Amino acid sequence: MAVSLGTASVAGFAAAASADPPSPAHGVAPGAANAGGINYVFYTATDGTVQIKSLATGKYLSAGGHLISAPSPIVTGVGTGGVATFIIFGQGTDNQLYYTTCTATSTTIGPCSGAWTSLGGTLTSKPGALDVNSTTYSVYVRGANGAVWGRNHTSSGWGGWFSTGGALLSGTGPSAAYRAGRYVLVTGINKALYIQEVGVTGFTAAGGLTSSGPALVNTTNALVGYVRGTNNALWYHEFLSTTPGWHSLGGSLTTGTGASASGATPYAYVLGTDSQVWQRTDLTSGSWSKVTP
């Protein structure tokens, strides 16, 4: 993977309010995050910009940018006045890794920083990111050699690129979540799922079969993985729990998945056959609902 420590802003990556947001890009999975009990959906639009929707207020905001795959947002904390800070990672048109920041409250959404900053690298898929606390977070990508590469951020700033290995299926990227350790879930070249605790274990087979990128989210009960099955339905797996294994939640997906969680409740987000974002709530008694436009 090519390494770049540049932090210059990229022209044309401006954020703006979006009264009439563009539609989700066909075939590109959405991202999601939960802040203060409120779910937010992030999607790459038909014009390459990242659009954000608060599911509490229905308000949209454009974070600008020009991505060629799915966005990966994290929440670095909810501060004074209930202001949540999001960091959004994405693959730019030059295949480098970029990020920007946006804020939201329970009643408002925005502003965004107005600029996207490069973290370098050579991406071949969407990134996957996780947050530990307000200054400690990580982002992972599929590199040019098909392996997982990552960068860590601490209070001292960004560290360099490092590889955690693996051989990911072309067109799929890693997903990541924190649960007393950094976990990465990936689709292997054999279309099976593999999970790794970064820096602790190698990749371990997790069963399942898919040709799309998975999602991984931490709840108070378990580390939950979501994936689009070979029958295009949504499937889930509760890792680090007493009842592991893949279980179907139905639906008809056209992309991989995004996910968020509020306490013990996980939420999955997918593009349906109408190329709009749909949400699946809970794992047992939940239901499907369309969240865009």
Residue 74 and residue 86 in contact, taking contact as beta carbons nearer than 8 Å: yes
What average pLDDT does this structure show over 89-114?
96
- In a domain, residue 10? The reply is no
- In a domain, residue 62? The reply is yes
Confidence of residue 19 (pLDDT cuts 50, 70, 90): low
CATH number of the CATH domain containing 56: 2.120.10.70
**Contact partners, residue 102, CB within 8 Å, separation at least 6:** 15, 52, 61, 63, 85, 86, 88, 109, 110, 111, 112, 113
Distance CA 3, CA 129 (A): 18
- In a domain, residue 216? The reply is yes
- In a domain, residue 59? The reply is yes
pLDDT value, residue 242: 73
Q: Say if residue 14's pLDDT is above 70.
A: no
Look over the chain and give the mean of its residue pLDDT values, rounded to a whole number: 92
Q: Do you know the residue count of the chain? A: 293
Confidence of residue 131 (pLDDT cuts 50, 70, 90): very high
Task: Please list, residue by residue across 251-278, b when 16 or more beta carbons sit within 10 angstroms of its beta carbon and e when fewer do.
Answer: bebbbbbbbbbbeebbbbbbbbeebbbb
Q: Say if residue 71's pLDDT is above 90.
A: yes
Note the pLDDT tens digit of each residue in 188-238.
Answer: 999 999 999 999 999 999 999 999 999 999 999 999 999 999 999 999 999
pLDDT value, residue 16: 44
**Contact partners, residue 288, CB within 8 Å, separation at least 6:** 250, 251, 278, 279, 280
Distance CA 197, CA 131 (A): 15
Residue 140 and residue 150 in contact, taking contact as beta carbons nearer than 8 Å: yes
- In a domain, residue 209? The reply is yes
Residue 251 and residue 272 in contact, taking contact as beta carbons nearer than 8 Å: yes
Confidence of residue 243 (pLDDT cuts 50, 70, 90): confident
Strand (E) positions, 79-213? 84-91, 97-104, 109-112, 117-120, 128-131, 137-142, 148-154, 157-158, 162-165, 175-178, 182-187, 193-197, 204-207
Is it true that the peptide bond before 293 is cis, omega within 30 degrees of 0?
Answer: yes
Q: Taking the alpha carbons of 202, 205, 211, 215 in that order, is the dihedral positive or negative?
A: negative
Distance CA 276, CA 288 (A): 12
Report CA-CA distances (Å) from 244 to 109, 193, 224, 231, 282.
37, 14, 10, 20, 16
Q: Say if residue 6's pLDDT is above 80.
A: no
> Three-state DSSP class for 211?
coil
- In a domain, residue 1? The reply is no
- In a domain, residue 226? The reply is yes
Note the Cα 129 to chain centre separation in Å. Answer: 6
Note the pLDDT tens digit of each residue in 151-174.
Answer: 999 999 999 999 999 999 999 999
- In a domain, residue 233? The reply is yes
| Residues spanned by the domain of 122 | 28-274
Distance CA 215, CA 41 (A): 14
**Contact partners, residue 77, CB within 8 Å, separation at least 6:** 84, 85, 133, 134
Distance CA 113, CA 90 (A): 15
Q: In the chain, what is the straight-line distance between the N-terminal and C-terminal CA atoms, in Å? A: 37
Number of domains in the chain: 1
Distance CA 173, CA 167 (A): 11
What average pLDDT does this structure show over 238-260?
91
Distance CA 181, CA 136 (A): 12
> Three-state DSSP class for 81?
helix
pLDDT value, residue 246: 94
pTM above 0.75, yes or no: yes
- What's at 247, amino acid-wise? H
Residue 142 and residue 174 in contact, taking contact as beta carbons nearer than 8 Å: yes
